[in-house]
Chains A and B, each alone.
Chain A
Amino acid sequence: MKMIRNRFGSLSRVSAQLQRHVQQMSTNAAASPAEGATISEFRTAVSNPGEHSAMQVAKFYTIPAEQKKQIFTGGGLPKQYEQQIKTFTEACLMVRNPALELLQYIKDGDLTKPVVRYVLYGENGTGKTLTMAHVLHYGALNDFLLVHVPWAPNWMKRPKEASNAAGQEGMIDLPFDAAAWLVHFKTQNGPLLQRLQLKTSKEYVWSKRESTPAGSSLIELVEHGIARIKYASETTAALIAELKQLSTAGQCKVMVAIDGFNAFFHPVTRIFSDNKQLVTPDRVTLTQPFLDITNYDWTNGVCILSVDKIAMTEGHMDSYMPRYLLGKEGFEHLDPFVPIHVENYTDKEFHSYISYYLDRHWINKTPQGFEEQLKFMSNKNPYSLMQLVKAL
């Protein structure tokens, strides 16, 4: 009897070793050859979004700190996710199917053709913004100039300041927001702009004394806008027009990413005009350039837009479908576009997220069946899950 037990013991030990060996081999195969060290099964060492494939689905990759600082300083990650990143002291993103799908389209797309518009849509809190962040990371690493609006409804719902536009009658300027966006553009694209040495095609006259001559660099244009906040809106329009020209000429690639794009087609904003009436989005000077760049009359770029229920206001939040959120006008503006549905977690993604939280010691209480409970409570919705585990 004892002998038998001994034999079984040794057998099990052998099998365990075998298993470990197999696991090591598989992780080696999955991970990039550069970093074959021990890595948890819910993480991947591939930190370049361009190399992500179906192998990395439901795994976490880390955005290096300096890249994160460059891309997401001016926004782009949800505030709560930003807090979580700060708590966990690492910027981890999960590789998910919508992002992979989108990346595949971008990689396979022909840049000489007119720009393709991709529209991310889905329920609240499913990860549209983070999908966009994933793609932005790809764009930043692949020499795309990023034209990124972190959350367009901010301009329509809570602008810093609104004033009448100098040049155009009846239009509203948002000077501070425009300047803030220019700063965001500069931080995202500073190094690339230095490298590419892009020049303006014509002279921009701001006032009697101020002008930006033709042939000055884009950085000068942007810096002028930041320094002279009064002209920030016009500068934004000029910059975007220049970018369109330059990319069509083949001097640069442009990635347009606008979160909450449907805010541009909302029936009304919260900005008051002089006669105390709420203005419509098309009377805000910032709207025009961004609608312009989402047209398909230029090449060498991609447009990634997201439509979101919470970009709308009460009474306009019945459905998350693009046709509903964009309205007739917006839908016709974007048509034809490639819709990409962002859904709740799959089982695999869910379990991966739970193990990530456990790894970060974010979930401390683990009674029996807590995972199942969380799954049903959150309905596998990423945002609800994040809210729920806060208290655990």
Chain B
Amino acid sequence: MALRVFGLNIVKNNRNLLQNACKSRAPMPCYMAAAPFATDVTVQAAPAAVQKQRVSKAMRAYLKRATEHDEFMKTQHLEFQIGKRHLANMMGADAETFTQEDIDEAISYLFPSGLYDQKARPAMKSPEVVFPARKAAEFDETGRPFHSMFYTGKPNFFQLLHDIVEETNKLADLEERMLRRGNKPDENQKLEIAGFQLLPKDQLELLLVESIADIEYSNFTNSMDRLIASPYAYKSKAFIERYMKPLMDQSKQLEVPKPRIDEEGRQYITTYECLRKTARADVTVRLPGTGKISINGKDISYFEDENCREQLLFPLQFSELLGKVDVEANVEGGGPSGQAGAIRWGIAMSLRSFVDQEMIESMRLAGLLTRDYRRRERKKFGQEGARRKYTWKKR
């Protein structure tokens, strides 16, 4: 990749440099993968050979900046390595095999923090992660740009569009040829994109090291959709997958536990760890039943509020199983509405085993299967509460 950006002449002039580049790049392949468009020139700048020739002003400025950045990153990297060794020593682990996960664990152990925002908590990460990748020089020493689309302002993005269209055309040609020969696309090899989605805009921006507008992003998605829609899309599988992201959590939710049988011969499902606010519950749903509800040994009168009872009954009513299943719940912590919410979630999750796929989907859309992560908002100083300000008094 260095070749394309630097230009052949540099490689010819300075082989050592290239070797250095290869060496220094070897230990950090993971960051390369994260931003393939960016890393090309960032690190290796200011080759001696370049300075001898006539250098444009822009290039000189760039080279200066690049050297500074280079130095900076080098020291950062060194510090990180030393810090890592110290940390490993402190934790009594081997510094050579000390991974980033070990670092995170050690930091959260040594500097326990109750700060709400994850980003505000102490952390130690590799400088490549902390300092975002920068775009390399896009022009040679005489000021002539490398990229043919340099003057679009977003060469990487438009190159990508270009590539997509090229792939699409290739597939269209292939389709036509196959059609002429009377062949059909292979059904077995059909591209499976269920459970995947196109890279979201912010991730695509990171990948391209260019900020793109909404309309440009929609251009990208449209062209990708066109490519994917082609019957021979499996031929460009590698290309497509580079811009897809798996939907992990949804597929995980799709697995529905199998109900077990109790001693009375009834099916039952127990959902543990039903959480809402500070309440936690475990809920057992039995089928068939008579609609008996017991919460901590009491019936539904455990909740005095109307809305709490309503919360509790909603999943049953929604799935039309009210009066057909028995519910047992143990709940502790929190207040009435938190407890009711926790049980509601538990009932809904348990009911998945007793209803069909369609109902599960509509339950999901109704938000019954979504965990409610909202917590109490902290009081702010200088304010009466989380949001309310003190009464304004003129003096």
Contact = CB atoms under 8 A, between A and B. Distances in A.
Q: Do A and B bind each other?
A: yes
Interface of A: 123, 369, 372-373, 376-377, 379, 381, 387-388
A376 B313 contact: yes
8 interchain residue pairs of minimum CB distance: A379-B300, A379-B301, A377-B309, A376-B313, A372-B322, A372-B323, A379-B299, A376-B322
Contacts of B313: 373, 376-377
A377 B316 CA distance: 12
Contacts of A388: 306
A377 B323 contact: no
A379 B310 CA distance: 12
A179 B323 CA distance: 52
A376 B299 contact: no
Interface of B: 291, 293, 299-301, 306, 309-310, 313, 316-317, 322-323
Nearest to B301: A379
A389 to B, nearest CB: 12
A381 B310 contact: no
B301 A376 contact: no
A106 B305 CA distance: 39
6 contacts: A372-B322, A372-B323, A376-B300, A376-B309, A376-B323, A379-B301
A387 B309 CA distance: 14
Given A373-B313, A388-B306, A381 B301 contact: yes
A379 B304 CA distance: 11
Contact of A377 (B291, B299, B310): B310
B306 A376 contact: no
A376 B310 CA distance: 9
Contacts of A123: 301
Query: In the complex, which of the residues A369, A376, A377, A381 has the most CB atoms of chain B within 10 Å of its own CB atom?
Result: A376
B167 to A, nearest CB: 54
Nearest to B304: A384
A388 B316 CA distance: 19
A373 B306 CA distance: 12
Contacts of B291: 376
Contacts of B293: 376
A379 B303 CA distance: 11
A58 to B, nearest CB: 20
Given A376-B300, A376-B316, A376-B323, 14 more contacts: A369-B317, A369-B322, A372-B323, A373-B313, A373-B322, A376-B291, A376-B293, A377-B306, A377-B310, A379-B299, A379-B301, A379-B309, A381-B301, A387-B306
Query: In the complex, which of the residues B291, B301, B317 has the most CB atoms of chain A within 10 Å of its own CB atom?
Result: B301
A388 B309 CA distance: 12
B154 to A, nearest CB: 56
Contacts of B323: 372, 376
Nearest to B316: A376
B343 to A, nearest CB: 14
B350 to A, nearest CB: 17
Contacts of A387: 306
Nearest to B320: A369
Nearest to A387: B306
A369 B323 CA distance: 11
A350 to B, nearest CB: 13
Contacts of B322: 369, 372-373, 376
A3 to B, nearest CB: 41
A354 to B, nearest CB: 15
Nearest to B303: A379
A373 B317 contact: yes
B174 to A, nearest CB: 56
Query: In the complex, which of the residues A373, A381, A388 has the most CB atoms of chain B within 10 Å of its own CB atom?
Result: A373
Contacts of B317: 369, 373
Contacts of B301: 123, 379, 381
A66 to B, nearest CB: 38
A123 B301 CA distance: 10
Contacts of A379: 299-301, 309
A300 to B, nearest CB: 41
Nearest to B300: A379
A387 B301 CA distance: 14
Contacts of A369: 317, 322
Nearest to A377: B309
Query: In the complex, which of the residues A372, A381, A388 has the most CB atoms of chain B within 10 Å of its own CB atom?
Result: A372
A125 to B, nearest CB: 10
Nearest to B323: A372
A372 B323 CA distance: 8
A381 B304 CA distance: 12
A254 to B, nearest CB: 37
A345 to B, nearest CB: 13
A373 B301 CA distance: 15
A372 B309 CA distance: 14
B325 to A, nearest CB: 12
A224 B264 CA distance: 70
A234 B387 CA distance: 61
Query: In the complex, which of the residues A123, A379, A387 has the most CB atoms of chain B within 10 Å of its own CB atom?
Result: A379
